[in-house]
């Protein structure tokens, strides 16, 4: 991965001397000095390299129209009314008996184009790479993710590796744009029905990180697709998911807590250039009573007293 650009920039005084004397160009045209975003630990907006600079103030980008306001009010009040009425039925709008008895739950099904709106796709094109990824509704009302992977790194002189495509669910919002979390504590296994092309994918689950200030924490596990015309039922226990931060596996592992799950994602980065496709019928969770493992990885002490 590329190093932070700020560490590579020469001091400002030297920059101005370079421009003045038209000396050997140390800076590439794509780098804009003094406006390069710094990597911070707080949840700031990050301007990806290659994207145009923001030259409008926030209020210039917003639409203050009355119709938009009225639509917003209607939408939020409808959601609020639904929330209030759901509490009369039970937690999350279902009776408690259903919560106690259910052993399987379908979380995502792809039957309408609106279901695809809940997902966002991304590839290394955003950092200057050449991969392509598209999402559409498959032939039999499934989610069809396809594209081309290209691991040629962008020509910016810094990025050494590239070639990834990803699809991630959007953060669910309840009324007044508050975050809504999935509560999967009654379950212990992720159940997917997929049809791939033999490529290995990475499934990542994102939990609530607002208070821990680690917004790039993801719990990941592998999905090895079989390829071929037959559907594949994949069941991955949640105890197998390991903690990563910005793609790097962490030493300090802990189990995934299932009471505030925000997003699920699929990433492909197997360095094999060429077309790919992944078809997903549904994503669900289930309770496997035979699986009693709490966490699959060693919670060893990193600095044991000798």
Q: Write the Ramachandran bin of 72: left for phi over 0, alpha for psi from -120 to 50, otherwise beta.
A: alpha
Check: CB of residue 168 under 8 Å from CB of residue 283: no
Closest listed residue to residue 223, CA positions, set 251, 185, 262, 197:
197
| Tokens (6 digits) for 256 | 């995934």
261-268 sheet: strands from edge to edge: 119-123, 165-169, 261-268, 200-207, 217-224, 242-245, 248-249
Question: Judged by CB under 8 A, which of 83, 115, 197, 208 binds other proteins?
Answer: 208
Kindly state the smallest distance separating residue 100's Cβ from other proteins, in Å: 6
Kindly state the smallest distance separating residue 19's Cβ from other proteins, in Å: 46
Binders of other proteins among 98-117, rule CB under 8 A? 99-101, 103
Kindly state the smallest distance separating residue 43's Cβ from other proteins, in Å: 14
Listed in sequence order, the residues at least 6 apart from 37 whose beta carbon sits closer than 8 Å to its beta carbon are 44, 46, 47
Kindly state the smallest distance separating residue 88's Cβ from other proteins, in Å: 9
The contact mask relative to other proteins for 235-274 (x = CB under 8 A, - = no) is -----------------x-x--x-xx--------------
CA distance 110 to 280: 8
Binders of other proteins among 188-207, rule CB under 8 A? 207
Contact call for residue 90 and other proteins (CB under 8 A): yes
Give the up-direction half-sphere exposure of residue 290: CA atoms within 13 A in the CB hemisphere. 1
Kindly state the smallest distance separating residue 172's Cβ from other proteins, in Å: 18
Residues that bind other proteins in the complex, under the rule CB under 8 A? 87, 90-91, 96, 99-101, 103, 183, 185-186, 207-212, 214, 217, 252, 254, 257, 259-260, 287, 289-290, 292, 305
């Amino acid at each position: 991965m590329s190093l932070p650009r700020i560490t590579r920039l020469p001091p400002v005084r030297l920059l101005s001397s370079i421009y003045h004397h038209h000396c050997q160009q140390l800076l590439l045209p794509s780098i804009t000095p003094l406006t390069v975003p710094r990597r911070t630990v707080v949840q700031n907006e990050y301007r990806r390299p290659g994207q145009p600079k923001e030259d409008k103030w926030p209020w210039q980008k917003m639409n203050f129209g009355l119709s938009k306001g009225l639509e917003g009010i209607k939408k939020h009040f409808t959601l609020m009314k639904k929330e209030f009425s759901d509490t009369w039925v039970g937690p999350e709008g279902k009776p408690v008996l259903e919560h106690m008895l259910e052993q399987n739950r379908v979380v995502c099904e792809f039957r309408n184009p609106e279901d695809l709106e809940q997902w966002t796709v991304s590839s290394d094109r955003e950092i200057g790479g050449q991969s392509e990824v598209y999402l559409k509704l498959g032939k039999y009302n499934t989610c069809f993710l396809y594209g081309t992977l290209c691991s040629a790194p962008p020509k910016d002189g810094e990025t050494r590796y590239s070639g990834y495509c990803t699809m991630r669910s959007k953060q669910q919002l309840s009324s007044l744009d508050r975050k809504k979390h999935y509560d999967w504590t009654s379950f212990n296994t992720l159940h997917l029905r997929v049809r791939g092309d033999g490529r290995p994918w990475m499934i990542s689950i994102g939990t609530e990180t607002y208070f821990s200030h680690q917004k790039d924490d993801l719990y990941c596990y592998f999905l090895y697709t079989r390829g071929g015309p037959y559907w594949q039922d994949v069941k991955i226990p949640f105890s197998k998911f390991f903690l990563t931060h910005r793609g790097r596996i962490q030493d300090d592992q802990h189990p995934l807590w299932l009471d505030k799950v925000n997003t699920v994602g699929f990433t492909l980065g197997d360095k094999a250039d060429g077309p790919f496709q992944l078809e997903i019928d549904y994503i669900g969770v289930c309770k496997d009573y035979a699986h009693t493992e709490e966490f699959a990885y060693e919670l060893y002490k990193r600095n044991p007293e000798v």
